[in-house]
Amino acid sequence: MSASTSLDAYRALRAERARWLPVALDIARSHGLDVGSPHVFSTGTNLVVGLGESLILKIFPPLLRAQFVSERGSLTQLAGRLHLPIPKIVAEGTRDGWPYLVITRLSGTLGSEVWPSLPEAQKERVLRQIGETIAAVQRAPLGPLAQIEPRWDDFMRAQMQGCKARHARLGLAQKFLEGLDDLLRDATKLIPMDASPVILTGEYIPENFLLACDDGTWSLAGLFDFGDVRAGWRDYDLLGPSAFMAAGRPGRVCSLLEGFGYAKLDFALKRRLMALMLLHQASDLNSHICIEGWQQQADDLVALQDLIWAS
């Protein structure tokens, strides 16, 4: 595999597993690992192979080395600090300029497979656990993750500068675009730029956690994928579960925020979360807000924040 792969060339390589799987298996063999029944994971960004039932090999292309740094740093910093299982690093190295990690494979069912069918009370239970998990992750020391670029203030300012153009390009309705200037002006006061940063994954979504069932009750059972970690203001990590899971249901919203540690949902918090949702690295409201007909239910961004974070 070439160390100078462009993004397009990498995507083509990733789609042809016959070109890279032999290299992955050779890496595994070099660590004395079982390669008898490899399983290639087709989703995700990097090259990921399951090795038997207990291990996963994750190979990062050179142009996404930052994801390797985030993943390695996060798993190291969070090791032994959470009640929730996360992968453990078994081995690491570099092959032809491509860094890789061998990590333990967690047990459980992928959240995205279970979440839609959970009863409402169990959705609230899981969201409370997600809020608690976010808070626990954020209590861990940053260590080398503090050096991840861009720094929070630079990242936020860049997001603010490109916010209106981004959402116009993504087709956000004009009635919401009209309120962006006011919201961004508020954001400079509502979003702390120089507060003590914490570990942010940016992606507490069903595709990145595992659930397990005990006597009919589902619980959070594992958390993985730390490739997009950055350091910054704590509320940023409430956006994924707010958009993809809470669906504007007051019980779910309350469970998530109480689990996180917020006892009061006031206008300022809703306004800050609305601003952060529009400034998120992956922000695309039309694709991400899981409230049916929300575009018709809200006339502006203030009404939209009341709809998403209903109380």
Q: Could you give the CA distance from residue 298 to residue 311 in angstroms, rounded to a whole number?
A: 16
Q: List pLDDT tens digits, range 211-244.
A: 999 999 999 999 999 999 999 999 999 999 999 9
DSSP 194-212: SSPPEEE-S--SGGGEEEE
In this structure, are residues 67 and 46 in contact, taking their beta carbons and an 8 Å threshold? yes
Residues sharing a CB contact under 8 Å with residue 193, sequence separation 6 or more, in sequence order: 152, 153, 156
Would you kindly state where each structural domain of the chain is located, as residue ranges?
7-104, 109-308
In this structure, are residues 251 and 122 in contact, taking their beta carbons and an 8 Å threshold? no
Q: List pLDDT tens digits, range 55-97.
A: 999 999 999 999 999 999 999 999 999 999 999 999 999 999 9
- The pLDDT-based confidence of 245 (bands split at 50, 70, 90) is very high
- Per-chain mean pLDDT for the chain: 94
Q: Is the per-residue pLDDT at 44 higher than 90? A: no
Domain 7-104 has CATH 3.30.200.20: yes
In this structure, are residues 276 and 240 in contact, taking their beta carbons and an 8 Å threshold? no
Instruction: Say what the pLDDT of residue 42 is.
Output: 84
Specify the residue for token string 């290639």: 40
**pTM for the full model?**
0.93
The amino acid sitting at 43 is: T
Instruction: Say what the pLDDT of residue 43 is.
Output: 80
Q: Is the per-residue pLDDT at 195 higher than 90? A: no
In this structure, are residues 118 and 218 in contact, taking their beta carbons and an 8 Å threshold? yes
Type and span of the H or E element at 58: strand 55-59
Instruction: Say what the pLDDT of residue 260 is.
Output: 98
* Pure H helices in 150-202: 152-169, 174-177, 180-190
What's 109-308's CATH class?
alpha beta
Beta bridge partners of 109: 211
